[in-house]
Amino acid sequence: MKAGVLLGPRQLQIQELKKPVPKAHEVLIRLSSTGICGSDVHLFLGDRLLTSPTVLGHEGIGLIEAIGEEVTGFEIGQRIVIEPNIPCGDCRFCRQGRGNICPHKQVIGVNTSGCFAEYICLDANFCWQLPDTISPEDAVCIEPLAVAVHALKCGALEAQEAIAIFGLGAIGMLLCQLALYKGYRVWVKDLNPEKQESAQQMGANILPDESLDSFLYDYEIAGIFDCVGVAKATNQILAAAPRGSKIILVGLANEMAQFVPLKIAREGISILPSIIYDHPADFAETLDLIATNKIQPGKIISERFPLNRIEEAMELAVSGKVTKVVVDII
């Protein structure tokens, strides 16, 4: 099978690999499309170094081609979306229902073979059947929408409250769409004016460039979602956060951020982490939101490329000029 293998920073090569065979508890999926995620970009750039050449990609959809002997409830030809983070189920965090921070979890496209390939085998418990009401465009954006669903839950904010979203990549844009649907008053900020305009067309407001701290306080911003993934932006958010607000860390900055403990404590500011999603609740909610036409995540797709142009697709994603790039396998 053909697959996009990361050999090193900015070295993504199409190679011919052996087609996988499903184990007893797995299904074999013939992949059709895979979205490029911000974490794929970081790996491609070498911000995180992998220990060996790896097939990247985790936002995959496709059709079941073979079924392991212990698997029930699936049929050949069914449409599937992949849930790519697989906790061990045995550690203390998994036993506490916190599998999203399991230190032993399998991460498709990071520590196990990914979805920029023609085929993948996956534990059937992490394969979700797609209802007929979900289009292929929406289906390939299910995984990032699940990240946004989880992030909004982590904020634990009341509907109608005002929130600010910094960073309008795929997650930030999906979070904007989701929060507007759920009745929040949404303010956004991104260095790319076209992304801000897209969010504004959804119904969001654009944050000002100046006097940000006083603006956030005066407009009673209760939750600030950091979707940028750059420590410099996180520092600015920490400095500008208004009294009593919650900062939800969604972007995955890998550098040191700074804050003044006195400000955080004296002003009652909360810093909350949000990482991936909880299995299985967040994926189940995400599928329902799309299947019932409440959210249309496929609207964020900017460009599509065939698998043999994956390096070009990744370079476009690196540029930050577009919101979501999708690689079509077939």
Q: Which string of b and e fits 42-66 if b means at least 16 CB within 10 Å? A: bbbeeeeeeeeebbbbbbbbbbbeb
Query: In terms of domains, do 206 and 257 share one?
Result: yes
pLDDT, one tens digit for every residue, the chain (330 residues): 999 999 999 999 999 999 999 999 999 999 999 999 999 999 999 988 788 999 999 999 999 999 999 999 999 999 999 999 999 999 999 999 999 999 999 999 999 999 999 999 999 999 999 999 999 999 999 999 999 999 999 999 998 999 999 999 999 999 999 999 999 999 999 999 999 999 999 999 999 999 999 999 999 999 999 999 999 999 999 999 999 999 999 998 889 999 999 999 999 999 999 999 999 999 999 999 999 999 999 999 999 999 999 999 999 999 989 999 999 998
Q: Where residue 95 sits, what CATH number does that domain have? A: 3.90.180.10
Cis bond leading into 280, ω under 30°?
yes
Q: How far is Cα 306 from Cα 327, in angstroms, rounded to an integer?
A: 6
Closest CA to 19 of 31, 10, 7, 36: 31
Task: Identify the domain containing residue 322 by its residue range.
Answer: 2-143+277-328
Residue 50 has a pLDDT of 85
Do 138 and 284 reside in the same domain of the chain? yes
Judge if 137 and 160 occupy the same domain.
no
Whole-angstrom CA distances from 73 to 87, 90, 164 are: 22, 24, 42
Looking at 273, 298, 320, the residue that finishes a domain is 273
pLDDT at residue 51, as a whole number: 84
Last residue of one domain, picked from the residues 273, 289, 312 = 273
What is the model's pLDDT at position 48?
81
Among 249, 273, 297, residue at a domain's last position: 273
Q: What CATH number does residue 152 fall under?
A: 3.40.50.720
Q: Please tell me the predicted confidence (pLDDT) of residue 206.
A: 98
Q: Beta-carbon neighbour count of residue 318 at 10 Å? A: 16
At 291, phi and psi to the nearest 5? -60, -30
139 shares its domain with 283:
yes
The number of distinct structural domains making up the chain is 2
What per-residue confidence (pLDDT) applies to 280? 95
Please spell the DSSP secondary structure of 116-167, one letter per residue.
Answer: SBSEEEEEGGGEEEPPTTS-HHHHTTHHHHHHHHHHHHHHTPPTT-EEEEE-
10 plus 135 within the same structural domain? yes
| Residue 225 main-chain phi, psi, to 5 deg | -105, 115
In which region does residue 203 sit, left (phi positive, over 0), alpha (psi from -120 to 50) or beta (all else)?
left
What's the confidence (pLDDT) of residue 330?
Answer: 81
Residues 142, 81: Cα–Cα separation, whole Å: 8
- Shared-domain flag, residues 261 and 281: no
Q: Write down the pLDDT at residue 105.
A: 96
**303 with 269, same domain?**
no
User: Does 139 lie in the same domain as 59?
Assistant: yes
Whether residue 281 sits in one domain with residue 268: no
